[in-house]
Amino acid sequence: MKGLDPEGPLNENLRRIVAVRGAELRGLGSAVLDPGDVHALHDTRIAAKRLRYVLELGEPVLGPNAADGAKRARHIQHVLGELHDCDETLPRIARVLERLRGEDATAIRAGLAPNASDVDPESLRRARHRRKYAGLESLAAYTRARRDVLYAEFLRIWTDLEQSGTLEWLGAGAG
Amino acid sequence: MARARPVPGFADSGSFCEAAARAVRIRVEEVFERAEGVLDIEDIERVHDMRVATRRLRAAMEIFAPCFAKKQRRALLNEVKALADALGARRDADVAIVALERVGDAMPAADLPGVEHLVSELRDEQQQANDELAQALDRIEAGGLHERLLALTVERAPEPAVTM
């Protein structure tokens, strides 16, 4: 970060850092309107985290607005963290389902005669994972719904942040 | 999650770098105070608290970057990051297991085998992450990371350049 003065006053240096961190978060404003832009949401979470920690540290110098800003940043970080967990869980479930299906198909084929012309439905008894699919599919549906709800919650928090004047306060160097 | 400890005298610091030494010293102590019991997978809040403490330390080292010798700071930051990564891998598994068990509690019995399969996989990952965390803790102990981080706050050397 440019423009810091190591031997200068704490107050002025902190305000400069807060202004830069605030600008980073504000700069992501339009990108976060795409619920599928996983990278933008990740960048927003990181920007909120960086802002949160400088505000938490600087609160004794920057005053109560810093505490409010840190609280808002922490909320964004939390909701986007939960949303990120959904983005990790969904492909994980898909990978597990694919692997289990493959293992079951292999087990069914392994029980057939070498010259079998078709597969008897009774062979399903050899599919040892067959009772797992319903739960995994339900979990995927739940996780997808949860992601949608968390994104809507994030938009509410973001809109509230924009309307609160916090971004302007940050942009003005917390002054 | 444990709240950050206040930094005594922070607001009264005569300069940015005086505040840096105070803040980083407290954040270093917070990390190592939270190491006890961190390998206990029955009490997942301990690993969470230590992870948050490493985040706060990294943040302080980044905020006050111009106050420390660049090479020394970067090397130490890399070691703190390695510890944070090990804590993060354990935490990810902890959180996923708790979330899945919560969902499982609300599911009909017929749906449970799928969720239990996933939890079982995650428990293996949790154990592996815990083993790796144990190794990471041994490394920082053997390498004297705690003492070297504290020394950074004593031997701080502001550079003429004001970039980080």
Q: Per-residue DSSP letters for B121-150?
A: HHHHHHHHHHHHHHHHHHHHHHTTHHHHHH
Whether B35 and chain A come into contact, CB under 8 Å, resolves to: no
- % of chain B surpassing 90 pLDDT: 88
Q: What is the mean pLDDT of chain A?
A: 93
> Helical H runs in chain B?
16-33, 44-63, 70-105, 112-142, 145-154
pTM of the predicted structure, to 2 decimals: 0.90
Cβ neighbours of residue A139 under 8 Å, at least 6 residues apart? A89, A93, B100, B103, B114, B115, B118
Residue B162 within any structural domain of the chain? no
Residue B75 within any structural domain of the chain? yes
Residue B159 within any structural domain of the chain? no
Given a cut of 60, is residue A6 above it in pLDDT? yes
Given a cut of 50, is residue B65 above it in pLDDT? yes
Say what angle helices A64-110 and A38-62 make with each other, to 10 degrees.
150
Of A2, A4, A78, which to mutate for an interface test with B (greatest number of B Cβ within 10 Å)? A4
Residue B8 within any structural domain of the chain? no
Whether B15 and chain A come into contact, CB under 8 Å, resolves to: yes
- Give per-residue pLDDT as tens, B71-117: 999 999 999 999 999 999 999 999 999 999 999 999 999 999 999 99
When pLDDT is cut at 50, 70 and 90, the band that residue A58 belongs to is very high
Residues of chain B neighbouring A53 (CB-CB closer than 8 A): 55-56, 59-60, 63
Given a cut of 60, is residue B164 above it in pLDDT? no
Residue B43 within any structural domain of the chain? yes
Query: Which structural domain range is residue B88 located in?
Result: 16-154
Residue B103 within any structural domain of the chain? yes
CATH of the domain at B40: 1.40.20.10
Q: What are phi and psi of B79, to 5 degrees?
A: -70, -40
How many folded domains does chain B comprise? 1
- In this prediction the ipTM stands at 0.87
- Give per-residue pLDDT as tens, A83-137: 999 999 999 999 999 999 999 999 999 999 999 999 999 999 999 999 999 999 9
d(CA B85, CA B44): 16
- What integer pLDDT is reported at residue A149 of this predicted model? 98
Can you tell me whether residue A150 is helix, strand or coil?
helix
- What integer pLDDT is reported at residue A3 of this predicted model? 86
